[in-house]
Each structure stands twice: as structure tokens, then as C-alpha cells.
Amino acid sequence: MQQKSFEEQVRLDVQRALEEDVGTGDLTAALVPADRMALATIICREAAVICGQPWVDEVLRQVAPGARARWLLQDGDQCEPGQKIVEIEGAARELLTAERTCLNWLQTLSAVATKTAMYVEAVAGTAASILDTRKTIPGLRVAQKYAVRCGGGKNHRMGLFDAILIKENHIAAAGSLSSAFKAAQASILPVTFIQVEVETIRQLEEALEVGVKMVLLDNMSLPNIRDAVTLVHGRCSLEISGGVTFENVRAYAETGVDRISVGALIKDIKAVDFSMRFLDKPVER
């Protein structure tokens, strides 16, 4: 399956969102005179990291191609409660139709970026990077992983197609950690990395013996993670996953691991509150 470009994925994301919201037409917006123009502002009602500009711009391209958007903040910027994010001038009918879809993208992606920024700040000063996982809303992976980057985090693999992560079920199916890793090394397909997941110190020792350079410590206790860091002593990169929360992420980071992957960045979010407001006196075209 051929991977889509970022721009094409944004276009398809927005097309799908508009199909489910607008369908055959916006019955309520049709009540507004066709020649009525409007100036609208989108406001964020709480402190947040802004994210979603490419998707909002694409909504306008598809619904209100004559509209002009002036962004006052960029993706990755921090905003304060009540702050204006963007001003949009265009046909009132079209802006009314675009409103909810624009806000949906902003509220969802800003939520991911905001949560990611909290975790990144929590580990500041340590060697650990914050990464996402594949625990995304189906169909929104590109968008949500973009939001993680806007929040200062890093992306793990995009999907099953760009990197190899050998987990416990792969090891069981292959017969051993060594067998699975050697098969990965023999692969002729381009991959960004080969990583092996381990659950015990003994498995970590086996991974080191066969030359694994990236190890994922799965659901290990803090004492065991500290032992793992000591054992590895720079021979491979260490990532931890499982059981990581905002309350304990700093303690995990201080063990000396290189990477911390956190599913909650994407799957446990609360939408950020945005609203669109029109001027009281619309402008005639």
C-alpha cells in the first residue's frame, strides 16, 4: 500500500470530516443571504498549545475557497484563555458551514499537543525524550502524530510499515528472541529501526548478546529499570513503556533511559475549548 504525502492525507482527512458533517448540504446556513460577507474570529477559551492549522486551512479551501485566514498564533504556540487564534473573512454561508469542522480539528489536535507539552516539560533536564505510540484514533494517525510533534514530543514508528518492533508475541511465534532478531536483520526492506521488547533483565541480557541496539523495557519496575540502565551502560538505547503517567514520568526519566513512550498522549485527552464568533454587523459583498 502506497503511503500518502502529508498534504494528501490532510486533504482526505478533511474531505471525510466534511462528508459526515455537511453531507448533501448545510440546510441552516442556506437561510443566510448568499451575498452576505462576514469576519469571524476563533478564540481559545483555555490555556493550550495550538495545533491544527493545516486542517483548518484545508477546510476553508474545500468549503470557503474565497475566504482569507490570518493566523495570529502558529501551531506549537502557547495561548492564554480568551486569546484569538485566527481571523477569517469570507462568505457568511461558507464560514457557517466550515465552523464546526474547523473547531473539531483544533479541539482534538490542540488537546494532544497540550498534553504532550506537559509530559515534555515534566522530564525537562533529563536525557529522556517523550514519544507517542500507535494507540491512535483510527484514521487520524498522521494528524495526531503531527500534534505530538507540535507539543515537543517525538514520533515512534508511524505504523507497521516503517520500522520493526519485535514484541513478546513475535518472539513466541519465532521461537526465540534471537531467531526473531536475526530474521529482522536479514530483511531487505528499508526500515528506520529494529527494536526488541523485553520484560525481564534476563531477556535484556539475551538482547545484548545478539547485538540489539534498541531495546524497549515493557512494564518494568523502577528498580529493574535502574538495573537495566546500569547493565546496558551505553551499549544500546533504552526505551520504557507501560504504566507511565504524568505523576511518575519524571521518576522514570531520572533513571537515565533515552526514550519514554506514552500512549496517554493521544488516547487519554480532553478536548480544548474553542469557539468561533462573527462580528455583530456583517459586511455586504
Catalytic residues: 100, 135, 167, 197, 218
**For residue 171, what are the CA distances in angstroms to 167, 178, 203, 204, 274?**
6, 8, 11, 13, 46
| Pairwise CA distance, residues 89 & 213, whole Å | 53
How do strand 68-71 and strand 83-91 relate by DSSP bridges?
Answer: antiparallel
Q: Are 76 and 112 in contact (CB under 8 A)?
A: no
Cell of 104: 473539531
